[in-house]
C-alpha cells in the first residue's frame, strides 16, 4: 500500500466521523423539534459531540536510541516534503518526547519545555495549559527547509554540572563507569524536556497525532509518559533494529513501559523490525536473505510474546529515499507497504469500532427510548382512530360516556404525576448521598495528608508506604460507596416496577450506576506504579525527584478516577428517572389529544366522514416524526430494540 492510500484511508475516516457528528446533531435537533429534550439528554449529547469533534488518532512510536524511529516517522508521513523533515541523521537523535498534531487555533509552531522544569512539582498536563512556560519557534509551512532547520532544536543538548544532571535523573554513575567516564565535571543533557509541534499537514488536520518517545532514559524518568500518555494512544509502534534483534534494554522498555498499562492485551501493539537494509547482501542469495528475515521475526515474536502478523520488517531509510525519488522498486524492497496497510486498516477500524461502541453505550439508551415513545404515540393514535371509526357519534350518550372515561384517565394521570414527584424526592435524597460519597473535599483531604507525609519522607521506602496508605484510604472511600450504590440501585428498580405494575407503563430496564470500574482502575494504577518503580534503572530509583513525580502522577490519576466517579454519579442520578418522566408526559399528550378529538367531533357541524378524514390527517406529523428518526438512526449506524 502506498502512503497516498494511507492518506485516503485517513481521509475516509475523517469523513465518516464528520457524518457521525452530523447525524448526532440531527438527533439533538429532532429532540428539540418534537419537545423530547431535557437537561440530562442535552448534556449527554453535547458531551459525545465534543468528544467526537476533538477525537484524534494517536500513534505512539517507542524505541531505544538509534533504532531509526524518527526516520520511520519521516518515511510514513512526511516524505512528500522531499526532505528529512524531523532530525534523524546519524548522531542527531531526538532527545525529548515530541508530540505532532494540528492546533487550528494556535497555528504552526514548535513549543519546547526546558529540562529544568523536571525539578518542579507540576505535571506535564498542567504545563501544557500554560503556553508562556514554553519556548516557541514559529514555523513557515511554505518552507520545508525552514521547518527542517527549526526541528533541529529537538536534538539540542547542553553541558550542566554533575549534581544538576543527578537531580534531573540524567546521570548514572554505574553506566558512565562502564563507558570509561569517571568523575566528569560536566554532563551533556537534553536542552528540552518535551516538545509540542503543530502544523497543518493533511493527516494532522484530519485528526492524526504522533507521539515520538526517545529512549529508555526518557520513559524511565517521565512517569507521565508511561502511565498517562502511552495508554491514550490508539496504537504503539515499537521499533527494533533488525541487525541486533531484541536487546536487554528493548525488552525492558517492552515489558515495563509499552505493555505495562494494557494488562496483557496486545491489541494496538505493532513491532517494526527496522534497518533490514543492513542485512542486504549482494553476495548472498535472495532465499538466504528471506530466511534471515523470517528467523528474526520468529525470534522476536517468541521473545515479545506477540503474533508474527504484527511484526513488520522495514527499511525506513530506503523507504524515505524511495518516496522522495519516486522509486517504486526501492519502495517495494523497503517493505513499508505492510506497515502502512496495518495502520490504515487495522488501527483505523479499531478506532471506528471503539467510537461506535461509545456512541451505543452513551446514547443508545436515549435513541431506543425515542424510538419506542415515537412508535407508541403513533400506534396509540392509530388505535384511537380505528376506535372512533366504529363509534356512533350521533349518539350523544355515547360521546358523553367517552368524554367521562377520558377524564377518568386524566385524573389517574394526575395521580401518576403526584406519585412520580414523591418517588423522585425519595430518590434525590438517596442519590445525593451517593454523589457526596465521592465528594472532592473527601478525596482532596486524603491526598493532602498523604502528600504532606511524603514530603517529610526521605526514603523511597517511606514514600512507597505513604502511597500504599493513600490507596488503602481511597479503597475505603470507594467501599463506603458500595452500600449506598446498592441501595440506590434497589430504589430505582422499585420505582420503575411500581409504575409498570400500578399504571401499566412500558417496562424499562433502568441504567444502573456501578462503581466496579473505578475500583478496577484504582487497583490498576497502583500496580502500574509499583511495576514502574521497581523496573526503573538503579539511578532512577535513587532520585527522589523522579520517585516524587511518579507518585504525583499516580495521585493525579487516582484523583481523576474519583472525579470521574463523582461526575458519572451526578449525571446518572440526573437522568435515570427521565424515561419515566417522558412516559408520563407522553401519556398526558395522548389524553389531551383524545379529549381534543372528542370535543372537535362533538362540536363539529360536518359529517362523520369529514371528521374521520380530519383525524387521519393529524396522524401525518406523527408519521413524519417516526420517519425522520428512522433516517437519523440509520445514519448513526445504531441498532434499536423493538
Contact 362, 44 (CB under 8 A): yes
Contact 347, 57 (CB under 8 A): yes
Quote the pLDDT of residue 399.
67
In eight-state DSSP terms, residue 292 is H
In eight-state DSSP terms, residue 86 is S
Quote the pLDDT of residue 574.
80
Of the pLDDT bands very low, low, confident and very high (cuts 50, 70, 90), residue 467 is confident
DSSP string computed for 126-154: HHHT-GGGSEEEE--TT-HHHHHHHHGGG
The answer, yes or no, to whether residue 395 has pLDDT greater than 70, is no
Per residue in 566-598, pLDDT (tens digit) is 888 888 888 777 777 777 777 777 777 777 777
Give me the chain's average pLDDT, please.
82
Rounded-to-integer distance, Cα 450 and Cα 448, Å: 5
Most distant pair of Cα atoms in the chain: their distance: 112
Rounded-to-integer distance, Cα 344 and Cα 14, Å: 12
> β-strands 57-63, 235-241: how paired?
parallel
pTM of the model: 0.80
| Block residue for cell numbers 492524526 | 208
> Could you tell me the three cell numbers for 573?
442520578
In eight-state DSSP terms, residue 108 is S
Rounded-to-integer distance, Cα 49 and Cα 53, Å: 6
The answer, yes or no, to whether residue 282 has pLDDT greater than 60, is no
> Could you tell me the three cell numbers for 147?
521547518
For the four alpha carbons of 443, 446, 447 and 449, in that order, the dihedral sign comes to: positive
H-helix or E-strand containing 371? helix 348-389
Collect all residues with Cβ–Cβ distance below 8 Å to 235 and sequence separation of at least 6: 58, 59, 60, 268, 269, 270, 343, 347, 350
Give the closest residue to 592 by CA, choosing from 629, 618, 610: 618
Of the pLDDT bands very low, low, confident and very high (cuts 50, 70, 90), residue 81 is confident
Strand, helix or coil for residue 90? coil
Domains and CATH numbers, the chain: 56-156+191-334 (3.40.50.300), 391-603 (no CATH)
- Residue ranges in 504-577 assigned as alpha helix (H): 516-535, 538-542, 544-575
In eight-state DSSP terms, residue 66 is T
Per residue in 124-147, pLDDT (tens digit) is 888 999 999 999 999 999 998 899
H-helix or E-strand containing 159? strand 157-161
| Block residue for cell numbers 523536571 | 118
Rounded-to-integer distance, Cα 499 and Cα 584, Å: 10
The answer, yes or no, to whether residue 542 has pLDDT greater than 70, is no
Quote the pLDDT of residue 285.
62
Residue 42: half-sphere exposure toward Cβ, Cα within 13 Å: 7
Rounded-to-integer distance, Cα 539 and Cα 555, Å: 23
Total count of residues recorded for the chain: 642
Q: What percent of the chain has pLDDT over 70?
A: 88
The answer, yes or no, to whether residue 320 has pLDDT greater than 50, is yes
Residue 587: half-sphere exposure toward Cβ, Cα within 13 Å: 21
Contact 172, 221 (CB under 8 A): no
Give the closest residue to 532 by CA, choosing from 561, 563, 498, 557: 557
Q: What angle do CA 55, 197, 354 make, to 5 degrees?
A: 20
Mean pLDDT on 82-103: 79
> β-strands 157-161, 186-190: how paired?
antiparallel
> Could you tell me the three cell numbers for 145?
527547509
> Could you tell me the three cell numbers for 217?
532514559
Quote the pLDDT of residue 94.
65
> Could you tell me the three cell numbers for 175?
553506566
- Answer with the residue of higher pLDDT: 218 or 565: 565
Q: What is the phi-psi region of residue 273: left when phi exceeds 0, alpha when psi lies from -120 to 50, beta otherwise? A: beta
Contact 80, 2 (CB under 8 A): no
Quote the pLDDT of residue 435.
83
The answer, yes or no, to whether residue 263 has pLDDT greater than 60, is no
Q: Measured between alpha carbons, how far is residue 453 from residues 87, 458, 461, 465 in Å?
A: 44, 10, 13, 10
Residue 229: phi and psi, rounded to 5, are -85, -45
The answer, yes or no, to whether residue 335 has pLDDT greater than 80, is yes
Give the closest residue to 122 by CA, choosing from 466, 114, 23, 626: 114
For the four alpha carbons of 529, 533, 536 and 540, in that order, the dihedral sign comes to: positive
H-helix or E-strand containing 602? helix 578-603
The answer, yes or no, to whether residue 220 has pLDDT greater than 90, is no
Q: What percent of the chain has pLDDT over 90?
A: 27
| Block residue for cell numbers 478516577 | 561
| β-bridge mates for residue 63, sequence order | 214
Quote the pLDDT of residue 109.
96
Mean pLDDT on 410-418: 72
Collect all residues with Cβ–Cβ distance below 8 Å to 629 and sequence separation of at least 6: 27, 30, 370, 371, 374
Mean pLDDT on 295-315: 93
> Could you tell me the three cell numbers for 569?
454519579
In eight-state DSSP terms, residue 180 is T
- Answer with the residue of higher pLDDT: 203 or 545: 203
Amino acid at each position: 500500500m502506498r502512503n497516498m492510500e494511507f492518506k485516503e484511508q485517513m481521509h475516509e475516516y475523517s469523513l465518516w466521523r464528520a457524518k457521525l457528528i452530523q447525524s448526532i446533531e440531527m438527533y439533538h435537533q429532532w429532540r428539540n423539534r418534537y419537545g423530547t429534550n431535557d437537561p440530562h439528554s442535552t448534556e449527554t449529547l453535547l458531551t459525545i459531540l465534543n468528544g467526537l469533534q476533538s477525537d484524534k488518532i494517536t500513534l505512539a512510536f517507542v524505541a531505544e536510541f538509534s533504532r531509526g524511529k524518527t526516520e520511520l516517522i519521516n518515511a510514513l508521513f512526511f516524505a512528500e516534503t522531499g526532505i528529512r523533515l524531523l532530525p534523524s541523521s546519524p548522531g542527531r537523535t531526538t532527545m525529548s518526547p515530541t508530540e505532532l498534531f494540528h492546533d487550528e487555533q494556535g497555528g504552526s509552531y514548535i513549543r519546547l519545555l526546558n529540562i529544568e522544569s523536571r525539578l518542579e512539582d507540576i505535571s506535564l498536563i498542567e504545563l501544557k495549559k500554560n503556553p508562556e512556560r514554553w519556548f516557541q519557534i514559529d514555523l513557515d509551512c511554505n518552507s520545508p527547509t525552514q521547518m527542517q532547520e527549526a526541528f533541529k532544536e529537538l536534538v539540542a543538548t547542553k553541558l550542566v554540572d554533575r549534581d544538576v544532571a543527578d537531580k534531573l535523573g540524567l546521570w548514572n554513575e554505574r553506566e558512565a563507569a562502564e563507558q570509561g567516564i569517571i568523575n566528569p565535571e560536566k554532563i551533556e543533557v537534553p536542552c528540552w524536556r518535551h516538545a509540542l509541534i503543530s502544523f497543518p499537514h493533511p493527516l494532522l488536520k484530519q485528526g492524526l497525532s504522533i507521539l515520538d518517545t526517545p529512549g529508555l532514559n526518557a520513559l524511565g524518568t517521565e512517569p507521565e509518559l508511561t502511565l498517562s500518555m502511552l495508554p491514550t494512544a490508539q496504537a504503539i509502534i515499537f521499533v527494533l533494529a533488525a541487525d541486533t534483534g531484541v536487546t536487554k534494554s528493548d525488552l525492558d522498555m517492552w515489558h515495563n513501559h509499552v505493555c505495562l498499562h494494557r494488562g496483557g492485551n496486545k491489541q494496538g501493539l505493532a513491532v517494526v523490525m527496522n534497518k533490514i537494509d543492513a542485512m542486504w547482501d549482494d553476495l548472498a542469495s535472495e532465499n538466504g536473505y528471506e530466511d534471515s528475515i523470517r528467523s528474526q521475526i520468529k525470534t522476536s515474536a517468541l521473545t515479545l510474546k506477540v503474533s508474527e502478523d504484527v511484526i513488520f520488517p522495514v527499511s525506513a531509510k530506503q523507504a524515505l529515499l524511495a518516496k522522495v525519488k519516486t522509486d517504486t522498486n526501492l519502495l517495494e524492497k523497503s517493505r513499508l507497504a505492510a506497515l502502512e496497510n496495518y495502520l490504515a486498516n487495522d488501527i483505523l477500524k479499531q478506532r471506528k469500532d471503539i467510537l461506535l461502541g461509545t456512541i451505543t453505550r452513551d446514547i443508545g439508551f436515549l435513541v431506543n427510548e425515542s424510538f419506542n415513545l415515537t412508535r407508541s404515540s403513533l400506534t396509540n393514535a392509530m388505535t384511537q382512530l380505528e376506535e372512533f371509526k366504529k363509534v356512533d357519534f350521533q349518539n350523544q350518550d355515547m360521546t358523553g360516556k367517552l368524554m367521562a372515561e377520558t377524564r377518568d384517565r386524566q385524573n389517574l394521570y394526575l395521580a401518576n404525576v403526584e406519585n412520580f414527584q414523591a418517588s423522585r424526592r425519595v430518590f434525590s435524597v438517596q442519590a445525593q448521598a451517593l454523589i457526596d460519597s465521592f465528594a472532592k473535599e473527601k478525596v482532596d483531604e486524603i491526598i493532602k495528608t498523604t502528600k504532606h507525609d511524603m514530603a517529610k519522607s526521605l526514603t523511597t521506602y517511606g514514600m512507597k508506604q505513604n502511597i500504599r496508605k493513600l490507596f488503602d484510604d481511597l479503597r475505603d472511600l470507594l467501599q463506603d460507596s458500595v452500600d449506598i450504590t446498592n441501595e440506590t440501585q434497589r430504589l430505582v428498580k422499585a420505582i420503575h416496577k411500581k409504575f409498570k405494575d400500578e399504571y401499566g407503563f412500558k417496562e424499562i430496564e433502568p441504567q444502573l450506576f456501578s462503581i466496579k470500574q473505578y475500583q478496577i482502575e484504582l487497583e490498576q494504577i497502583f500496580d502500574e506504579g509499583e511495576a514502574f518503580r521497581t523496573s526503573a534503572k538503579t539511578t532512577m530509583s535513587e532520585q527522589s525527584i523522579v520517585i516524587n513525580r511518579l507518585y504525583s502522577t499516580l495521585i493525579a490519576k487516582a484523583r481523576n478516577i474519583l472525579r470521574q466517579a463523582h461526575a458519572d454519579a451526578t449525571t446518572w442520578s440526573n437522568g435515570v428517572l427521565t424515561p419515566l418522566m417522558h412516559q408520563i408526559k407522553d401519556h398526558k399528550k395522548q389524553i389531551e389529544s383524545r379529549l381534543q378529538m372528542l370535543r372537535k367531533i362533538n362540536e363539529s357541524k360536518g359529517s362523520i366522514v369529514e371528521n374521520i378524514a380530519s383525524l387521519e390527517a393529524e396522524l401525518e406529523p406523527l408519521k413524519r416524526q417516526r420517519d425522520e428518526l428512522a433516517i437519523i438512526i440509520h445514519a448513526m449506524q445504531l441498532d434499536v430494540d423493538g
